[in-house]
Structure 1
Amino acid sequence: MPLPQLAILHGDDDFAIAGRVTELKAEMGDPSLASLNIAELDGKTITLAELRGACDTMPFLTEKRLIIVRGLLTRLTGKTTDDAGHSAEEAAGAGASSQNFVDGLIAYFPELMPSTALALVEPKAVNERSRILKAAEKAPGVEIKKFDVPQGPQMMQWIIRRAKAGGGEFSPAGAEALATAVGDEPRMLAHEIEKLLAYVNWARPVEKADVEQLTPAAGEAEIWDLVDALGTRNAQLAINKYHTLLNMPSQDQFAIFGMIVRQFRLLLLVREILDNGGNTTLVMQTLNQKPYPAEKLVKQARNFTLSKLETIYRRLLDLDLTLKSGGAEDTTAIDTFIAGLTA
């Protein structure tokens, strides 16, 4: 596809943005010549004159010149806008120079040379009411794309699509386990996906067991399953999940027990939020949770009453004291505890 004359790539998924920038560079053709016609500039310090100078330079031995400017719109528009669509910086009258830059940039969009491709790359979303964004929408040959980090079930689909693009495959259970273990961190997820595909040699789908074997934080997925089993009163499944954790080389009994205690502490707090009229958004804000684990916490908390969670948490604290004092054999004590909860 041809290079857009003006591209605005913005949002918090820096990994996806980096991928699109790589595509733009690839569209420049022969790397030996492309490198002579690609300029990357710092939008935090660039002046309008410097930007125009870079964009008005003719390409060398190629048809196009690509100018990549990082962080300019974030600098000019600030984090918030007023009702008129002016940035916080503009609304506060932070300086005529900033206002002049905005006006000059808007006026320059239609004047871009046909041989120039200007890519404005932003580390956060630009407000849709921004005057700059509205003006850019009217420019010829424009590409404006917002890249959001996938949330909740979308993260699982992102993992599956990413694996397919890499020539491999993830089962739904494998994708869910990886999403639970890593969270909404696209760069880390991409690294783990590549590692897991190499582990199965691209010969079969990556399964949950593969994630548990290779991904350091994958033990958390088993904790979720263990708590799910407790919530549905499935003692055998809960005990099986506990022993699966014990067999993981990266886990020990005290670490596993600590994870169980932490999970029920979170569920207790979530149940209190729900009982007071709160929702998943409030859980995210209050407990500093990402969307995917917050949704799972809310779902799990609904399996228990507040009084039941308070009882479980007290018993966990009592068991913690017993284990630390040597009053019981660790594995047997926790097996008994799990069986008692599901009785």
Structure 2
Amino acid sequence: MINYEVYEQEIEKGNVKNGYIFCGLDEELIKDGISLIIKREVSEEFKELNLIRIDGMNTSFDDIMNACETMPFMSAKKVVVIYRANFLHEKSDSTGTKIYNDIKKYVENLPPDTILIMYYLLNDKRDKPNKNKKLNTTGKFLHVVYCDKLKRDKYLKKVSEVFKEKGKQIGKVELMYFCEKVQSNFDIIKREADKLISYCEGREIKKDDINLLILNSNEDDIFDLIELIATRKIDKAIDIMKEILYKSDQHMLIISAIEKHFLRLYEIKIKISKGKRLEDIISEYRLPQFVCEKLMTQTNRFTEKQLMELIKICVKTETKLKSTGIDKNMEMEFLLINTLTVKK
């Protein structure tokens, strides 16, 4: 298993292998990595014939094998990309398990003129690919690329390239400030860059523009906190709560964010029960697909009754925090402990 930076260096040297598995939380970073191979191995002239994309959530082994076995047209190589290959998750349904077992045997002898690329998204930042037995097995024949967070200099350079590709320059100071404010996810980074570029059309981007358009967010920390509440790991939840308070000593904003998150989970759970699907949630909340998928997954960890009770606990804590003469940190810890009393 190699990280993104090592992978990028290998591609720059022209050291392209016949098979890859990408995994990580940042789908845009994964797509950027895959595009390095596509640009190098597939000419624009014959791209439609020598680049095959397959939805890993709606495919079969036969579809994948047939795509790999087809000869490239007027080219030495052909690229087959299986996106959202959820059958690579350590735990998958019976259909996914069957696809994986067939692919596991097939990749031992891939056609030499085919480059097979598969990727899947990790569930959260605690999901470690080196513990995935499926990757350890297929990794003997395919190169596994773990797209984790980039090192600071590499990260700054890559974010700068996002602006350059969109035809906009950003100063070094403003770039660093932008990177501090925005979430470390290239789907979000590209969206926020678009907003800034549109707002600052015809002039330079300033720090005031970044402050105006990009709000500070503890969303990732709040999501992790809710996940620990769902799994009743309150000791770890308290540790994360302390980290959040250390970064931003604003108890009312944090309790409001937790309450809002539970409310959103409740709303999504109701919508799902009424037949709403992923695309409906994306449209209604105007959030990136990966965010909506994470929210929908998290709703499954709670019942409607639990979410209603958790919202009530948040409201009670919020009321107490408005009082004077109380230990606010202690009240936040009591909030987490009280979640243990909520039953399904």
TM-score, structure 1 length as denominator? Answer: 0.52
Match of 1:128 in 2: 130
Describe how 1:1-343 pairs up with structure 2 within 5 A. Answer: 1=11, 2=14, 3-72=16-85, 74-77=86-89, 87-89=90-92, 95=94, 99-124=97-122, 127-139=129-141, 142-148=142-148, 158-159=155-156, 161-163=158-160, 166-167=163-164, 168-171=169-172, 175-176=176-177, 179-180=180-181, 182-193=182-193, 196=196, 207-213=206-212, 215=213, 217-218=214-215, 220=216, 282=237, 295=243, 297-301=245-249, 313-314=322-323
What CA deviation, in whole Å up to 9, does each residue of 1:121-176 have, x standing for no partner? 2122673233431233222xx432122357xxx68973464115645445457634
Change (3 A) 1:69 1:160: closer
Counterpart residue identity of residue 212, structure 1:
N
Tell me if structure 1 keeps the 8 A contact 2:42–2:78. Answer: no
Q: Secondary structure at the match of 2:25?
A: coil
For residue 52 of structure 1, report the CA deviation from its aligned partner: 1.4
Contact 1:10 1:123 in 2 (8 A): yes
Provide the secondary structure at the position in 1 that maps to 2:99.
Answer: helix
Take 2:135 and 2:144, find their aligned partners in 1: how far apart are those partners? Answer: 8
Shift, 1:202, TM fit: 11
Q: What whole-Å deviation, never above 9, does each CA across 1:86-130 have from its counterpart, x for those lacking one?
A: x444xxxx65x6554333222211210110000102122673233
Instruction: State the 1:36 CA deviation.
Output: 0.8
Q: Which moved more, 1:126-135 or 1:7-16?
A: 126-135
Q: Which residue of 1 aligns with 2:5?
A: none
Instruction: Check whether the contact 1:59–1:115 (CA below 8 A) recurs between aligned residues.
Output: yes
Cα distance in 1 for partners of 2:321, 2:61 equals 62
Q: Answer yes or no: is the 8 Å Cα contact 2:79–2:116 preserved in 1.
A: yes
1:20, CA displacement in angstroms?
1.7
Q: Deviations over 1:10-68 (max 9, x none)?
A: 11101111212322221234212122111111222322222212111111111111111
> Which residue number corresponds to residue 257 of structure 2?
none
Corresponding residue SS for 2:22 = strand
- CA RMSD, aligned part only? 4.4
Structure 1 residues 176-218: Cα deviation after superposition (integer angstroms, max 9, x where no partner):
45533x43443232233355468778997x55334124x1x44
Distance in 2 (alpha carbons) for counterparts of 1:76 and 1:136: 10
On the 8 A contact 1:156/1:175 being kept in 2, the answer is no
CA distance in 2, matches of 1:69, 1:26: 17
Distance between the aligned counterparts of 2:153 and 2:320, measured in 1? Answer: 34
What is the number of residues matched between the two proteins? 227
- Seq. identity, %: 15
Q: Distance in 2 between matches of 1:20 and 1:202?
A: 31
- State the one-letter code of the partner of 1:145: V
CA pair 185-98 structure 1, distance change in 2 beyond 3 A: closer
Larger radius of gyration: 1
Partner of 1:68, secondary structure, is strand
The amino acid of 1:26's aligned partner reads K
SS of 2:87's partner is: helix
Q: Deviations over 1:324-343 (max 9, x none)?
A: xxxxxxxxxxxxxxxxxxxx
Using the alignment, how far apart are the partners of 1:284 and 1:12 within structure 2? 23
CA distance in 2, matches of 1:101, 1:201: 49
Unpaired runs of 5+ residues, structure 1, are: 78-86, 225-265, 267-277, 287-293, 303-309, 316-343
Code of the aligned partner of 2:159? R
Contact preservation (8 Å) 2:88, 2:100: yes
